[in-house]
């Protein structure tokens, strides 16, 4: 218990634990009474009576009502003391709860002063905690999301933002500062975030629910029953979609295109540029059913030739490059590598077209069928599992005679590693895409 989530803690249970901490004198008195009463024949019975009645004195009774033997609070930074306590309670029968109090960043002053910053940080100078200046940082998708949602909220009073303990991580800090009455941090409770968003949408609010892709999986039932079944226009900002990196298998957001596309009336989009991302969020306010817009950790290209006021109709992609030998159908952050791959292929004498699908659901059937019939060969590219992904859905609508191959996340969990290195291993780079495309053209099939 460090009184925090990744950022500041919210909710009644946080306040409850704080009250527990304020009752240390009661715990000390109870412990002394227990030691004294154990010396008498009826001491255990008297102690049980005291514990039952202590609900009036200390919130620790809450845990015991749930069937836990409660111990604490204790100092989590006293390692020797913790070892002694764990040794003392290990042989007590039944479930036990040891309330350990810590300070986030303990022992390193810069982290104690700014625990949220040091939860996950870029390189810094250990002596001072100051960030090490590297190459100029590109504007991240999280920055872009924060900008566009704040802009939309300033234009439309119906817009509200919901996060599950990730205000800074999702880019909502400015929104929270400017519109505190329309910002809701529900804590680490993604299921509640989605149901709460449904309730707001049912009352005419336009909630934007910002949750990491991997954590949105926890709320799949609520997405279906509370949002989609009622066709409520909740906008899901699906952050950290695709390969995430050093956090490993639990944090890679590589399933969302598959699990969201199975839901009736759900629009699922993935921008390929920062401007397209802004346009999709602005457009989503015009749509009358639930929508998910997924974007990666890190940055997307700025984009050119896209109007800032463009309203995008669901299920409309864009042909970016024509080619007679094959068409590469890419989505999201795989569009730019696909364009680079087409350049590599051109130098090898292969004319490859590239299309930005923009939508995993609904698919732009007209674009897909037209481009595939002209080229005769199709390569789909997505930073999502192949099973149930965009590639499989495209293959299902292609006519016979069209050769199709798919590039994406294989049927296994992806390990830890730098995102670029992991993408290289998976073939989700310009070089990997061009090699896959060349093999498709030269072999006459996948």
* SS3 of residue 338 by DSSP: helix
Q: Whole-angstrom Cα distance, residue 313 to residue 256? A: 21
DSSP character at residue 213: H
Helix (H) or strand (E) segment spanning residue 209: strand 206-212
**Catalytic positions:** 104, 190, 218
What the block records as the tokens of 77 is 């930074």
Contact of 226 with 200, CB cutoff 8 Å = no
Length of the chain: 446
Helix (H) or strand (E) segment spanning residue 380: strand 377-385
Cβ of 436: how many Cβ atoms within 10 Å?
19
Q: Whole-angstrom Cα distance, residue 427 to residue 381? A: 10
Q: Whole-angstrom Cα distance, residue 306 to residue 339? A: 17
* SS3 of residue 43 by DSSP: helix
Query: Distance of CA 161 to CAs 200, 280, 287, 309, 397, Å?
Result: 11, 16, 17, 22, 37
**Judging by beta carbons within 10 Å of its beta carbon (0-12, 13-18, 19+), is residue 303 exposed, middle or buried?**
middle
Show the CA angle centred on residue 358, arms to residues 356 and 362, nearest 5°.
125
Token pair 């919130």: residue = 59
């Amino acid at each position: 218990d460090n009184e925090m989530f990744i950022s500041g803690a919210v909710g009644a249970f946080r306040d409850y634990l704080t009250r527990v901490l304020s009752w240390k004198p009661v715990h000390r008195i109870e412990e002394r009474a227990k030691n004294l009463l154990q010396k008498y024949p009826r001491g255990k019975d008297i102690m049980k009576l005291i514990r039952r009645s202590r609900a009036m004195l200390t919130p620790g009774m809450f845990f015991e009502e749930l069937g836990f033997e409660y111990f604490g609070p204790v100092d989590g930074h006293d390692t020797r003391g913790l070892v002694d306590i764990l040794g003392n309670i290990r042989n007590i029968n039944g479930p036990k709860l040891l309330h350990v109090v810590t300070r986030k960043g303990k022992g390193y002053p810069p982290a104690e002063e700014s625990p949220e910053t040091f939860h996950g940080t870029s390189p810094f100078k250990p002596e001072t905690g100051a960030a090490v200046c590297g190459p100029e940082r590109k504007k991240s998708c999280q920055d872009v999301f924060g900008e566009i949602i704040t802009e939309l909220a300033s234009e439309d009073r119906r817009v509200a933002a919901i996060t599950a303990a990730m205000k800074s991580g999702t880019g909502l800090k400015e929104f929270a500062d400017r519109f505190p009455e329309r910002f809701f941090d529900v804590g680490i409770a993604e299921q509640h975030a989605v149901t709460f968003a449904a309730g707001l949408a049912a009352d005419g609010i336009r909630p934007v629910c910002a949750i990491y892709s991997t954590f949105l999986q926890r709320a799949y039932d609520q997405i279906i029953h509370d949002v989609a079944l009622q066709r409520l226009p909740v906008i899901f900002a699906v952050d950290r979609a695709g390969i995430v990196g050093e956090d490993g298998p639990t944090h890679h957001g590589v399933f969302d295109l598959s699990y969201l596309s199975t839901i009736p009336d759900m629009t699922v989009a993935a921008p390929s540029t920062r401007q397209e991302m802004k346009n999709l969020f602005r457009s989503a306010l015009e749509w009358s059913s639930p929508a998910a817009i997924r974007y990666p950790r890190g940055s997307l290209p700025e984009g050119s030739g896209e109007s800032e006021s463009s309203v995008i109709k669901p299920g409309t992609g864009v042909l970016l490059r024509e080619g007679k030998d094959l068409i590469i159908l890419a989505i999201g952050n795989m569009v730019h590598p696909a364009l680079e791959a087409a350049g590599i292929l051109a130098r090898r004498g292969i004319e490859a077209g590239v299309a930005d699908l923009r939508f995993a659901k609904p698919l732009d059937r007209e674009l897909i069928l037209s481009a595939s019939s002209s080229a005769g060969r199709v390569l789909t590219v997505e930073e999502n599992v192949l099973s149930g992904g965009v590639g499989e859905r495209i293959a299902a609508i292609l006519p016979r005679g069209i050769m199709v191959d798919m590039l994406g996340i294989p049927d296994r969990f992806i390990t830890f590693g730098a995102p670029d290195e992991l993408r290289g291993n998976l073939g989700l780079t310009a070089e990997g895409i061009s090699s896959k495309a060349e093999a498709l053209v030269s072999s006459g099939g996948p």
